Structure 1
Amino acid sequence: MNKVETYIQQFEPEIQQRLLVLRKLFFETLPDTEESIRYNMPAYKAGTHHLYFAAYKKHIGFYPVYGLPEIEDEVSLYKAKNTKDSLHFPHNKPLPLALIRKIIKLKSKQQ
C-alpha cells in the first residue's frame, strides 16, 4: 500500500469512496501523473503544478484553484469562504466530476 492509499484508508468508508473517485479521476485525465503526499495531502502533478485534495469532517478540500478565468463562474459555486484558491465539495452532495476534470486539464496546460 502506498502513502496515498494509506491516507485514504484512515477515513470512513463513504469518504474513502469519494477520495478513491478523485484519485481515479486524476489517473484517467492524466495517465502519467505523479502521485505523492505533499503537505500531508494526496498530490498530483498537473503540468508544472501540483493539485491536492484532503478530506475533512464535512467536505473534501481541493487546492489550489486559481488563474482559471474561463471557468471562474463554475468554480465560484465551490469556493471556500475567505480563500482565493480552495474549493470545498460537501460530503452531502455529489462530486462535480466534470468540473474537477476541467480543472485538472486546464492546470496541466498552464506554465
Structure 2
Amino acid sequence: MNNVDEYIESFSDKRKDLLKQLRQIIKETIPEVEEKISWGVPTYYYHGYLLQIAGNKNHVGFYTTPTTLAYFKEELKDYKTNGKNTMQISLHQEIPTQLIKKMILFRVKENTQ
C-alpha cells in the first residue's frame, strides 16, 4: 500500500471515519504538511517527522512524541496513552478536535525551534 487514500479506504468501519477526521484536522491545521505512507501507516512531515495516524483493532492511534504526551498529560486523561508517543482513540470516542489541533501545533513548534 503506497498511498494514504488506499490505507484509509482499507477500513470499513468506524476506524475509517476516525482516520478521515484525523487526516482532515491535520491538513486543515497545517496546509503545507507532507503526507505519505511510512512504516506502513499515514505519516506526516513538516520540517521533519511530525506525526502518524493508524487504524488498530479497537482504536485509532495518534502518534506524536513523548514530549507532546507529557505536555498534554492532563488533557489526555480520558484517552489511553502508552507514555511514549501514542494516544489511542477508541471506536466509541469522538475525536477531540481542539486537543488534536493543539498537539499538532505543539509538534510544529518542536520541529521549527
How does the TM-score come out when normalised to structure 1?
Answer: 0.86
Q: Which amino acid aligns with 1:15?
A: R
**Residue of structure 2 in register with 1:18 after alignment:** 18
**Residue of structure 1 in register with 2:52 after alignment:** 52
1:48 to partner: Cα distance: 3.1
Q: Which amino acid aligns with 1:10?
A: S
- Maintained 8 Å contact 2:80/2:89: no
Which runs of 5 or more residues in structure 2 are unaligned? none
**Residue of structure 2 in register with 1:78 after alignment:** 79
**Quick one: structure 1 residues 99 and 46, their matched pair in 2 at CA, closer, same or farther if it must change by over 3 Å?**
farther
1:13 to partner: Cα distance: 4.1
> Cα deviations across residues 39-61 of structure 1 (Å, max 9, x unaligned)?
10101114433200100121001
Which runs of 5 or more residues in structure 1 are unaligned? none
Q: Which amino acid aligns with 2:94?
A: P
- Maintained 8 Å contact 2:32/2:46: no
> Cα deviations across residues 23-71 of structure 1 (Å, max 9, x unaligned)?
1111100000000111101011144332001001210011123213442
1:94 counterpart SS class: coil
Percent sequence identity over matched residues? 30
Q: Give the 4+ runs in structure 1 shifted more than 4 A.
A: none
**Quick one: structure 1 residues 85 and 79, their matched pair in 2 at CA, closer, same or farther if it must change by over 3 Å?**
farther
1:12 to partner: Cα distance: 0.9
How does the TM-score come out when normalised to structure 2?
Answer: 0.85
1:87 counterpart SS class: strand
Number of residue-to-residue matches in the alignment: 109
**Residue of structure 1 in register with 2:35 after alignment:** 35
- Maintained 8 Å contact 1:53/1:61: yes
